Amino acid sequence: MTPTQHGKLVCVGTGMRMAGQLTPLARSYIETADVVVAAVPNRFARKWLQDIAKQYICLLDYYADCDIEGKDRLDTYQRMSATILDEVRAGKTVCAAFYGHPGIFACISHMAIEAARAEGFSAEMLPGISAEDCLVADLGVDPGRTGMQSMEATQFMIFERRIDPTALLILWQPYIAGDLSRKRFDTTAARLQVLVDKLARDYPLDHPVILYEAATNPLEEPRMETILLRDLPSAVLNGITTLVIPAAYPLKLDEAIIAQLQALPEAPLLEAV
């Protein structure tokens, strides 16, 4: 849809540590936007944003909604998105800033962009350095080596998924694993045991897994704790913990496909356009 309204929305990521992980383009929008609306938990990053923004609106207080009994956190996210849209509707250039990548496990930005475009406003997302980017660097894994599977922990639990134990598996947000209510920000040992039992269909219980947490400020070190799969229910999980499950078995050649490929006639090389 061609924009027909004067307001504009740009969703940016501040990276995990922000310092050194904020792109020049994202910084430019933060500095020049009429208002910066942000959900950045790190207080140092929040203070920096407040200092350079022309106007700053913090969304973190909205999480208090989740303390209301029976409140679905999706309602809180929709309220955050509505706050962003109110500023766009006022004809402002709005920069919505989220830690990490603004589109990865950040449904607020997706909600806001979809709603803004539906109303005829210009809306775009700029990439940021995510926890997954930090994970690859810190753990020294190459997703291209064996392949990589990535999904939210509860989604893995409640849907029928085909897991390949010869590839790396990343399960996000295990700290709320098994919560069907969307009203909690924690889990229980019993729910984690259900997760372990499902993973045990494809992995040995003594398979080493990694609890990973990206560093969020320059003085921190990332958490890279190796435990056995069976010990997950008693492990310490924080809000930013990610469960990383290395491949349990080597890749196995598909001899039939290889033979089929080898039997194909040589084709001429395609000319460069």
Q: What contacts 122, CB < 8 A, 6 or more positions away? A: 3, 5, 7, 8, 9, 116
Only one residue has tokens 């910084």, namely 27
Distance (Å, whole) CA 89 – CA 187? 38
Distance (Å, whole) CA 192 – CA 190? 5
Distance (Å, whole) CA 184 – CA 73? 8
Q: How many Å is the maximal CA-CA distance in the chain?
A: 67
In this structure, what are the phi and psi dihedrals at residue 73, rounded to the nearest 5 degrees? -65, -20
The residues carrying an active-site annotation are: 73, 77, 99
Distance (Å, whole) CA 106 – CA 100? 9
The tokens of 77 are what? 């996210």
User: In degrees, to the nearest 5, what angle opens at C-alpha 173 toward C-alphas 171 and 179?
Assistant: 110
What is the arrangement of strands in the sheet containing 208-213, beginning at the earlier edge strand?
148-152, 168-172, 242-245, 208-213, 223-228
The tokens of 80 are what? 């955050």
> In this structure, are residues 52 and 169 in contact, taking their beta carbons and an 8 Å threshold?
no
HSE, side-chain direction, 13 A CA sphere, residue 90: 11
Distance (Å, whole) CA 12 – CA 154? 27
